[in-house]
Amino acid sequence: MLKDSQLTKRKEMPNSKFELLGQTVSPGKGLLLSLDIAKLHTGTKIEVPIIVQRGKKPGPVLLITGGIHGNEVNGVEIVRQLISKKYNRPLCGTVICMPVVNIFGFLNQTRQFPDGRDLNRVFPGSPRGSLASRFAYHIMKEIAPMVDYCIDYHTGADSRFNAPQTRINKDDEESMELAKVFGAPFVMLANTREKSFREALAKMGKKVLLFEGGKSLDIDKGVTQNGIAGALRVMDHLGMRDFTQELGLMEAKAKNPVTIKKSQWVRAKYSGMFHPYIALGSKVKKGDVLGSVSDPFGNFERSIKAVNDGYIICINQSPIVNQGDAIFHISQE
């Protein structure tokens, strides 16, 4: 649980008025808002739906986001289910959900913003910058200041399937506590990427859990359940709502999440057809055979071995790889 001093501070937050994007959300009520900051060359507005639910009692403000990268649809699915099952309705505090931050990337099934930029590499943005930069600026100006905590859902890029994991800054005790509460199998101690949403929020003093699970353009049931259960545990832990009954029907959280301080990629030494043998999340020893690469004509098949002891935290699921492609991500403890 949060320390007593932290809980007291949260409970003392004023509860009479909560304004977002010029709209007032009354205690116990919800609103569907829209962040509208720019138009495309066709005149089409960039409108991002924002679902706000406020409890009757005071408490922290939790922001839940998906789809900063438009093709990472598993994160969108997690936030969608949190809303559709009404898990986003707290008794204390406020939950702000942005299921699809990069709405046009989502429509086009691409990672980038309409201007070709990676939205997660332009924060905190600028009011006079690129389209993505301007959008990032408005998120940081109009939404971020209201937030105490954030859960940001992502997937692996392209065909790289990530084991469910939370990523936090090193030496951040409260975020580590929240990551353990979330209950993903792995906790990555990873420095924030420059100009990422997580870095921008961290610089404002916000606590951010970045969840990685699955791969782009894919919805995986196990990853989805892990992401949903983690959000419920965090809300329960923050005193926003009791989810004991709901969590009792879900898979148990990892009792002892593996903390990963360092990791490295095993890369293909040959181009060809890729055959992984090992299961995601498995613990392996140096020299273990992880898979193979073969040519399509039956002339050769080369084994891929673990370069150190560790856990397999990501596997490239592409059936065809090129020399130098990253194919297995292994922890280095």
Same domain, 134 and 222: yes
pTM of the complete model: 0.94
Domain boundary among 206, 232, 259: 259
Instruction: Please indicate, yes or no, whether residues 221 and 313 belong to a single structural domain of this protein.
Output: no
φ and ψ of 223, to 5 deg: -65, -45
Cα dihedral value 294, 300, 301, 305, nearest 10: -110
CATH of the domain at 165: 3.40.630.10
Q: Which run of H or of E encompasses 73? A: helix 73-84
Q: What is the pLDDT of residues 296-309, one digit of tens each?
A: 999 999 999 999 99
Residues 6+ apart with CB under 8 A from 210: 152, 154, 166, 167, 168, 198
What DSSP letter does each residue of 13-35 carry, written as one string?
A: S--S--EETTEE--TT-EEEEEE
Query: Which of 259, 280, 305 is the last residue before a domain boundary?
Result: 259
**In terms of domains, do 113 and 220 share one?**
yes
Tell me the pairing of strands 92-98 and 160-168: unpaired
- Indicate if 277 and 153 belong to the same structural domain: no
Q: pLDDT: is 156 or 192 the higher one?
A: 156
Q: pLDDT at position 16, please?
A: 59
**pLDDT tens across 72-101, in order?**
999 999 999 999 999 999 999 999 999 999
Judgement on whether residues 287 and 172 belong to the same structural domain of the protein? no
Question: Does 51 share its domain with 143?
Answer: yes
pLDDT digits (tens, 9 = 90+) for 5-33: 444 344 434 445 799 999 999 999 999 99
Same domain, 276 and 251: no
Are 255 and 288 found together in one domain? no
The CATH number covering residue 295 comes to 2.40.50.100
Question: What six digits make up the tokens of 225?
Answer: 């359940």
Domains identified in the chain, total number: 2
Looking at the DSSP assignment, which residues form a beta bridge with residue 160? 316
Strand partners, 65: 98, 152
Are 15 and 106 in the same domain? yes
Q: pLDDT by residue (tens digit) across 279-294?
A: 999 999 999 999 999 9
In this structure, are 254 and 305 located in the same domain? no
Same domain, 316 and 255: no
Residue numbers of the domain that contains 152: 4-259
Q: Are residues 27 and 173 in the same domain?
A: yes
Q: Which of 219, 234, 259 is the last residue of a domain?
A: 259
